């Protein structure tokens, strides 16, 4: 289906918004998916997005769809990228604005909306995804890793996944899981403390062998 506007230009048949929501679950980076209940590709897993209306911003649509399809409440969404390939949706030219978020796994309710199988899926073992959503998830992962590399972002946003207070060793394990690579412990400690975004609680906690670790909170 192809539409044209008054001036004779091609017009999209709609606009969608798709949230790419990541978490860390049992040490594995996961993305939030829900099954499609409508054609095309009914029954397949997809990003939990939907059609944008003119009465709300695309970001509000992404939040609303996330809530309707997965039960996940308010999250901080960052605009990721817009996908506008005319062949990306069999219904017609349907651009989608994708958003990215990193959240705690507990924000997915134990009983999400029925029929959709809203669930966390490890990136290392994704099911086949509808439309071009696999590529969108890839781009989201790339963006997430770029954000995390910024230690200020990591401490202020990423470390929100840790229960407070936490040790720098816990923060390092989280950082490594998000970045997908090991880092040098001394450099990591120096860099995260240099952000000035952590406060030392003055307390310590033992973490197995070796010296106990100091406990920090985000400021």
Q: Which residues bind a second copy (CB under 8 A)?
A: 1-3, 5-7, 9-15, 51-55, 57-58, 79, 81-82, 84-86, 92-93, 95, 97
CB of 133 to a second copy, least distance (A): 18
With beta carbons less than 8 A apart as the criterion, state whether 36 and 49 touch. no
Task: Tell which residue, 192, 190, 169, 172, has the closest CA to residue 181.
Answer: 172
CB of 142 to a second copy, least distance (A): 13
CB of 35 to a second copy, least distance (A): 19
Based on CB atoms, which residue is closest to a second copy, 1 or 125? 1
Handedness of CA 196, 197, 199, 205 (dihedral sign): negative
Based on CB atoms, which residue is closest to a second copy, 117 or 191? 191
DSSP 196: T
CB of 139 to a second copy, least distance (A): 10
CB of 149 to a second copy, least distance (A): 9
Task: Tell which residue, 200, 152, 196, has the closest CA to residue 175.
Answer: 152
Based on CB atoms, which residue is closest to a second copy, 60 or 201? 60
Based on CB atoms, which residue is closest to a second copy, 12 or 113? 12
Based on CB atoms, which residue is closest to a second copy, 76 or 217? 76
| 102, β-bridge pairs | 22
CA–CA distance, 129 with 40 (Å, rounded to integer): 12
Based on CB atoms, which residue is closest to a second copy, 14 or 135? 14
CA–CA distance, 68 with 48 (Å, rounded to integer): 9
CA–CA distance, 108 with 88 (Å, rounded to integer): 28
With beta carbons less than 8 A apart as the criterion, state whether 40 and 132 touch. no
CB of 85 to a second copy, least distance (A): 7
With beta carbons less than 8 A apart as the criterion, state whether 95 and 15 touch. yes
């Amino acid at each position: 289906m192809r539409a044209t506007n008054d001036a004779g230009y091609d017009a999209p048949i709609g606009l969608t918004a798709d949230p790419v929501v990541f978490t860390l679950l049992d040490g594995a980076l996961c993305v939030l998916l829900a099954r499609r209940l409508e054609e095309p590709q009914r029954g397949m897993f997809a990003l939990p997005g939907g059609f944008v209306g003119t009465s709300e911003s695309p970001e509000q649509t992404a939040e609303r769809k996330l809530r309707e399809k997965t039960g996940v409440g308010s999250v901080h969404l960052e605009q990721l990228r817009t996908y506008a390939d005319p062949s990306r949706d069999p219904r017609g030219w349907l651009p989608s604005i994708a958003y990215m978020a990193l959240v705690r796994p507990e924000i997915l309710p134990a009983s999400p909306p029925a029929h959709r199988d809203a669930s966390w899926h490890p990136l290392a073992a994704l099911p086949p995804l509808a439309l071009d959503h696999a590529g969108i998830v890839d781009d989201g992962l790339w963006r997430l890793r770029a954000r995390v590399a910024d230690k200020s972002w990591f401490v202020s946003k990423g470390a929100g996944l840790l229960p407070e207070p936490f040790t720098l060793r816990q923060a390092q394990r989280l950082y490594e899981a998000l970045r997908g690579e090991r880092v040098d412990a001394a450099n990591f400690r120096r860099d995260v403390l240099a952000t000035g975004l952590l406060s030392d609680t003055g307390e310590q906690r033992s973490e197995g062998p070796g010296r106990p670790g100091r406990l920090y909170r985000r400021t």
